[in-house]
Amino acid sequence: MVDSFTDTFEIGPIRPPSEAYSLLLRVTRNCPWNRCRFCSIYKGSRFELRPVADIKREIDTTRQMVARIKEIARNNACSLQEAAGMVLNNPPSEAFYSVALWQYSGGESVFLQDANSLIMPVDSLVEVLRYLKAAFPDIKRITSYGRSHTAARKKPEELTRLKEAGLSRVHIGMESGYDPVLEYIDKGVTAADHIKGGRNIKASGIELSEYVMLGIGGKAMTREHALASARVLSEINPDFIRIRTFTLKKEMLMYPDVASGKFVRLTDDELAVEERLLIENLHCTSHLISDHATNLFQEIEGKLPESKPRFLEIIDRFLSLEPEERMNYKLGRRLGVYLGLDDLGEDNKRNTVERFKNRLVASGRRIDDATIHWLMERFI
């Protein structure tokens, strides 16, 4: 069907969960900062600005792949979505698979990789955006990762040009609004940078999605991290606030601190208290979303401030559970069985969690916070 199609294009290592069905277009390679102590994704890799000509060539390759899918639809007298589904069942390459998935899902959004596309010269990025829009006029959203440090140093007219060329949304990993935490994790920014960069993006009309990381201050700075992050987010008032939870990997520069006890991780109960303090002190009109498998409460999603009482009720409900029931929920979440607290009422899911718990005990593993952390680490 498409086995003879040999052209391909580069795909970077990550994208936000909200961009799962977007076309992935790699405009830079790796991360220009690459010093964050909680991130191991780009370590050992050199940052590169990709030539505009190479990016355009890959847009052309994508257009050829879409044309091939349309040809399959015509030859089989079926819809474009059905033809894309055929390719998904037997793709000739990862790149062709990603294009087929994009078309299967409507083909309306594009995500620019890798870690900070805003660092590209504005003229170059504008050229790429215009070429992309000309190639695919039906695109409705183009998004990218960016750094507060970069956005804070962009002129308002530069960001406005990017908006006019088609950039719809920027995702920024704020992580924390507390300067001692930002210094400890070597984020390369300050709270003031976060505020200025976020406001610059908002002023341009580009949508802004800020990520805050629960637990990144450890036990020593949990309260300050929550309160300062809430203050910074409130001052920025981003379109979206997305919650992430610190999860450890051995490849992280922070790992020796955790192993030695210098950095003490929060338990799930303590993460819930930190999240409650954060949400309680948010004073903005952002859309709050908990859209990651590492989060304890994935059912938290809605508009602030009107949804705040519901969010706090969810966390209070968890904290009021009896210890055994609370542990059952934590196990269920970290196994991916439970998506929210209401799942505690589903017998089949409870039974699944209990069976796994019994297997853990039989294998000699204790049902404690260390086991919860071990289960979390399977998701990253």
**Are 308 and 324 a contacting pair, CB within 8 Å?**
no
pLDDT interval class at 65 (50, 70, 90): very high
Structure tokens given for 315: 């966390």
Per-residue pLDDT, averaged over 319-330, amounts to: 96
**Are 377 and 293 a contacting pair, CB within 8 Å?**
no
Per-residue pLDDT, averaged over 365-375, amounts to: 91
Which spans in 153-246 are helix H?
156-165, 179-184, 191-204, 222-236
Of the candidates 180, 171, 277, 162, the one whose C-alpha atom is nearest the C-alpha of residue 226 is 277
Of the candidates 155, 150, 157, 4, the one whose C-alpha atom is nearest the C-alpha of residue 87 is 4
pLDDT interval class at 376 (50, 70, 90): confident
**Are 31 and 47 a contacting pair, CB within 8 Å?**
yes
Neighbours of 97 (CB within 10 A): 16
The per-residue pLDDT for 136 is 97
Q: pLDDT averaged over the chain?
A: 95
Helical (H) or strand (E) element with 326: helix 323-335
Chain centroid to CA 21: 13
User: Which CA distances in Å does 23 have to 42, 111, 113, 364?
Assistant: 21, 6, 10, 45
Q: Helix 122-135 and helix 156-165: axis angle, to 10°? A: 10
**Are 23 and 99 a contacting pair, CB within 8 Å?**
yes
**Are 183 and 227 a contacting pair, CB within 8 Å?**
no
Chain centroid to CA 233: 17
Q: Compute the Cα dihedral for 221, 225, 226, 227 and give only its sign.
A: positive
The predicted-structure confidence for 80-127, as pLDDT tens digits, reads as follows 999 999 999 989 999 999 999 999 999 999 999 999 999 999 999 999
**Are 279 and 288 a contacting pair, CB within 8 Å?**
yes
pLDDT interval class at 6 (50, 70, 90): confident
The per-residue pLDDT for 330 is 96
CA distance 62 to 242: 30
The two beta strands, 301-303 and 287-289, are antiparallel
CA distance 64 to 226: 48
The per-residue pLDDT for 379 is 63
At the topology level of CATH, where does 147-320 sit? Answer: TIM Barrel (3.20.20)
The per-residue pLDDT for 38 is 96
The two beta strands, 48-49 and 109-113, are unpaired
